[in-house]
A and B are shown apart, each in its own frame.
Chain A
Amino acid sequence: MTPTRKRRLIAVALILLAVGVAAALTVTALSQNMTYLFSPTETLAGKAPPGASFKLGGVVLESSIKRDPNSLKVDFVVTDRFKQIPVEYTGILPDLFREGQSVIATGKMQGDRFIAREVLAKHDESYMPKEVADAIAKAKAAHAAETK
């Protein structure tokens, strides 16, 4: 390797190293400050900004969905399996919204209720055909019956 090329190689490597360190520091700083959502436990512990709008994330509690027959109003409970927060929303829900599904609601706390102006469904990374999902559910039920 000629001295010129060696000098260039060192210069480029140093710049890359500097940029890499800067990015790593920024990412660590951001991961402490940047929260996309708060869980019900965090919200009830007062970590979410009081009086301001924030995102509440959790799972829709089973058999907690109550639809108003005369309007688009929906009541449901969001849980992280430790704490629960009742949520109120008026509008069209996404396709994936269902019991046991992860959701992210944007809105404000009003007393002990969360008034959402937007509800997004979070999808998980599993993909399978319906038959497989049914088979798994059946196997789980059989296993549960056996262990009882």
Chain B
Amino acid sequence: MPACTGTMKMSPLVLWFHKLGSPPYFYRLAGRFLPWLYAIALVTGAVGLYGGLVVAPADYQQGDSFRMIYVHVPCAWMSLFVYAFMAANSFVALVWRIKLSETLAMASAPVGAAFTFITLVSGSLWGKPMWGTWWTWDARLTSELVLLFLYLGVIGLYHAIEDARQAARAAAFLALIGVVNLPIVHYSVVWWNTLHQGQTVSLMGQSKMSSSMLWPLLTMAFATHVYFFASLLARSRAALLALESGKEWVRGIAQTQEAHAHG
């Protein structure tokens, strides 16, 4: 077939993508990025928290209690972002059976679950003094709780099956199905009457927040994103070592480390 002759010539981007999919290459590259990501997340996180908890003025109605927003909202955004990331990798893992995508999807699940948990707890702590209740079964709160259960389901399913690659594919399938919950979480405050307020910050159009209060929030959002990728790379590196423990490149790393340890 004449069409097949072109497949040998790959654009540099596609070639890089293929290289990235190889576990040893990814392991080395991730190891080089990791300290930088942790440092950036730590510095921007500290700036964002200081800006939010100290510099930003108190809200005209809520007083200082509104400062919970600087933890709650970035974590809530991350709970959705991480799920979308996990689902996208699950999709690639299911169709193309790329080992790295399986690893990335499974490594992001516990991080996403943690962000979702923090979202629910911080919202609850804020809700008691402001709304007058820890919890109510409105559409936003309920769909966010479903999101936590989806994360826990993916983690649980992954660990319930012995063979790691089969387990990843089964869990990836669940992660992909659960993606329908994302628009429900996001639009729940629009589609239904909820106790939870509507969207304050929007990508398009005016944000309903003063700029003196907004910049720490956006800084925190940036910090949580960088932290997620740092945590993801660290977890994926560990998972790849375990998954490929019989391979030559892992043995090479083990030998170098042993040599280092013995001086």
When the two chains form their complex, are residues B193 and A35 in contact, meaning their CB atoms are under 8 A apart?
Answer: yes
When the two chains form their complex, are residues A12 and B60 in contact, meaning their CB atoms are under 8 A apart?
Answer: no
Q: Does B180 contact A (CB under 8 A)?
A: yes
A124/B197 contact (C-beta < 8 A), A31-B191, A96-B61 known? yes
A59 and B11 CA atoms in complex are apart in Å by: 61
A127/B213 contact (C-beta < 8 A), A19-B180, A27-B184 known? yes
Residues of B at the A interface (CB closer than 8 Å) are 57-63, 65-66, 69, 91, 94-96, 129-133, 136, 138-139, 176-177, 179-181, 184, 191-195, 197-200, 208-210, 212-213
Q: Does A62 contact B (CB under 8 A)?
A: no
7 shortest interchain CB distances as A-B pairs:
A94-B132, A129-B57, A133-B60, A23-B180, A127-B209, A125-B200, A130-B60
When the two chains form their complex, are residues B210 and A132 in contact, meaning their CB atoms are under 8 A apart?
Answer: yes
**Residues on B with beta carbons closer than 8 Å to the beta carbon of A92:** 132
- Most chain B CB inside 10 Å of its own CB: which residue of A97, A121, A127: A127
**Residues on B with beta carbons closer than 8 Å to the beta carbon of A12:** 91, 94-95, 176
A36/B94 contact (C-beta < 8 A), A121-B130, A126-B209 known? no
**How many A-B contacts are there with CB distance less than 8 Å?**
112
A27 and B177 CA atoms in complex are apart in Å by: 16
Residues of A at the B interface (CB closer than 8 Å) are 5, 8-9, 12, 15-16, 19-20, 22-23, 27, 31, 34-37, 57, 92-97, 104, 118-134
Closest chain B residue, CB of each to CB of A95: B129
Closest chain B residue, CB of each to CB of A129: B57
A12 and B180 CA atoms in complex are apart in Å by: 14
When the two chains form their complex, are residues B195 and A122 in contact, meaning their CB atoms are under 8 A apart?
Answer: yes
Q: State how many angstroms separate the Cβ of A125 from the closest Cβ of chain B.
A: 4
Q: State how many angstroms separate the Cβ of B166 from the closest Cβ of chain A.
A: 15
When the two chains form their complex, are residues B192 and A31 in contact, meaning their CB atoms are under 8 A apart?
Answer: yes
Q: State how many angstroms separate the Cβ of B154 from the closest Cβ of chain A.
A: 15
**Residues on A with beta carbons closer than 8 Å to the beta carbon of B62:** 95-96, 123
When the two chains form their complex, are residues A37 and B130 in contact, meaning their CB atoms are under 8 A apart?
Answer: no
Could you jot down 23 A-B contacts, CB within 8 Å? A12-B94, A15-B176, A16-B179, A31-B192, A36-B194, A57-B193, A93-B132, A95-B65, A96-B130, A96-B131, A104-B195, A120-B132, A121-B132, A123-B130, A124-B197, A126-B208, A127-B210, A127-B213, A128-B60, A129-B58, A130-B58, A130-B59, A132-B210
Which of B61, B191, B193 has a CB less than 8 Å from the CB of A27? B191
A22 and B184 CA atoms in complex are apart in Å by: 13
When the two chains form their complex, are residues A23 and B200 in contact, meaning their CB atoms are under 8 A apart?
Answer: no
A97 and B129 CA atoms in complex are apart in Å by: 10
**Residues on A with beta carbons closer than 8 Å to the beta carbon of B208:** 125-127
Q: State how many angstroms separate the Cβ of B27 from the closest Cβ of chain A.
A: 26
**Residues on A with beta carbons closer than 8 Å to the beta carbon of B192:** 31, 34, 36
